[in-house]
Amino acid sequence: MNAVANPVLACHGLDFGYDGRPVLRDVNLAIPAGDFVSVVGPNGSGKTTLLKLALGLLRPTAGEVTVFGERPERARHRIGYVPQHAHLDPLFPVSALDVVLMGRLGLGPRLGPWRGRDRDAARAALAEVGLGDHADRHFSALSGGQKQRTLIARSLAGEPELLLLDEPTAGLDAHVEEGFFRLLEELNRRLTIVMVSHDLGFVAGVVKSVICVGQKVVVHPTSAITGQVIADLYGADMRMIRHDHRCSEEGHQC
């Protein structure tokens, strides 16, 4: 995996800590274009931190992270970021379309109202996530799954090449989650996807490789995930769910 040419996202000897407390140490990874990566690990292990480093919201204490070969700040316009929706104000007066239009910032006009072109792009993004008839619904009236899809549409409206998702399935029930993974699988045909997951989020069989964030950060193709790897990571046996592997790349063992 270190031999990836032109990786979309790469870390070299990356260290990061909050106030001197190390969180990530000597992370080396390279994610190729077209990959679908799930970042897993226990709570507090640094999964979201890794995402924020890739967005340039945090700076590494040592080493480097690059996105499309550049500093993350310079590549942001090519990244679609999907945060958790739980921190958003439920009373906020916006429609689903208003939210998606925010993804057009940086592409649309700087001054004045949105143009028709931006509205068309936002409506297309909503249609792509299956919410074409929900454009004028109040954001807070949407279900958890629909809110999550709206936030994905918002990131798609910015015409990204890389999608970063932070715990997108948190709080979704199983059949909603299933449809959600189908959507991501569809998007993965044209986008590289990196998804932080609180569970082992590759159960739907759509994830191509897994980054385990623990004491050290290790990349596996999904086929190399065994009960032992999971036990090492979480410190206890976890339920394993079998699925069809589609990954043939070489990975290394924990």
Partner 1 sequence: MLTPAFLGPLAAHAFLQYALLGGVLVAIPCGLVGSYVVIRRISYIAGAISHSVLAGLGLVQYLRVVHGVTWMSPLGGAAAAALVSALVIGWVSLKLRQREDTVIGAVWAVGMAAGIVLISLTPGYAADLMSYLFGNILMLTPRDLVLIGALGVAVVAVVTMFHKQLLAVCFDDEFASLRGVRTARYHFLLLGLTALTVVVLVSVVGIIMVIALLTLPAATANHLTRRLSHMMIVAALLCAGLTAAGLALSYGPDLPAGAVTILLTGALYFATALIKRR
Residues at the interface with partner 1 (CB under 8 A): 55, 57, 76-77, 79, 81, 83, 88-89, 91-95, 98-99, 101-103, 105-106, 108, 111-114, 138, 154, 158
Q: Which is nearer to partner 1, 52 or 208 (CB)?
A: 52
Q: Are 229 and 40 in contact (CB under 8 A)?
A: no
Give me 183's structure tokens. 């959507």
Q: Which is nearer to partner 1, 107 or 231 (CB)?
A: 107
Q: Which is nearer to partner 1, 76 or 208 (CB)?
A: 76
Closest distance between partner 1 and the C-beta of residue 119, in Å?
12
Q: Which is nearer to partner 1, 62 or 141 (CB)?
A: 141
Q: Are 218 and 254 in contact (CB under 8 A)?
A: yes
Closest distance between partner 1 and the C-beta of residue 195, in Å?
17
Residue 173: C-alpha distances to residues 48, 132, 179, 242 (Å): 22, 22, 10, 19
Cα-Cα-Cα-Cα dihedral sign, residues 248, 35, 62, 22: negative
> Parallel, antiparallel, or unpaired for β 162-166 and 192-196?
parallel
Closest distance between partner 1 and the C-beta of residue 250, in Å?
33
Closest distance between partner 1 and the C-beta of residue 253, in Å?
35
Does residue 159 sit in helix, strand or coil? Answer: coil
Which own/partner pairs from 177-180 qualify as long-range (CB within 8 Å, at least 24 positions apart)?
177/204, 178/204, 179/130, 179/145, 180/145, 180/148, 180/149
Closest distance between partner 1 and the C-beta of residue 40, in Å?
23
Q: Which is nearer to partner 1, 141 or 240 (CB)?
A: 141
